[in-house]
Amino acid sequence: MHRYIALGFVLLVQAATAFAAPPAEPKVYKITPEPLAGYAHVKAAAYRATTEEQGTHFVLANLNTRQPVIVSVIGVDPREPFSLAVFKDGWKEPKREAMTADGQPAVAMFRTYERANILVKSPAGARAFEIRVAVSDEIPPRAKPVFIPMDEYRQKHPLAWFSWRSPVLWGGIMTVVLLAAAAFFFIRRRRGS
């Protein structure tokens, strides 16, 4: 008899949980990077927010194919700990994770297309933080040009005409070799006659 009461109670609990409302979806904030003044290929966004009980959820949308993205999170008080997780779809399997440490921001760098989901949490409860996002095309690094004008090269290397690749040097060597061969030929011809 007790078994039937226990079984009935278990079935009642299972039925109640099956028909219960699904857990509420977290509130998701949209991040919209805007073109950054002075940089033709860079879009950026910066927001200040407070962590929520289950973390603060963001969606980064409208990305082009395989665009490089950098996301950084740091507390308004840099000593506060925060975790950063980046997801492609949903909120279950993060593709990138990072933590703040020693006043340094949590940084995630990745390439994606269309959208990315971002979750920021704090183990210390509700804490203020800043999230910064930079989206860009491939930006060539600022570097000196590989080739320099010949005048500039000659100023830096005044004896460059004497290098092993110099046409002046090889022309001089060929002239000396031809003169030596001609002299040898004429000397031999004189001795033979």
- pTM for this model (two decimals): 0.60
Q: Mind listing the pLDDT tens digit for each residue in 101-159? A: 888 999 999 888 788 999 999 988 889 999 999 988 765 556 677 778 878 877 887 76
* Distance in angstroms (rounded) separating the CA atoms of residues 154 and 151: 5
b/e 154-185 (16+ beta carbons within 10 angstroms → b): eeeeeeeeeeeeeeeeeeeeeeeeeeeeeeee
Architecture of domain 22-136 in this structure: Sandwich (2.60)
| Residue 125: per-residue pLDDT | 86
N- to C-terminal Cα distance for the chain? 139
Alpha helix segments (H runs only) across the chain: 2-18, 150-156, 167-192
pLDDT score of 6 more than 60: no
> What are the residue boundaries of the structural domains of the chain, listed by start?
22-136, 150-192
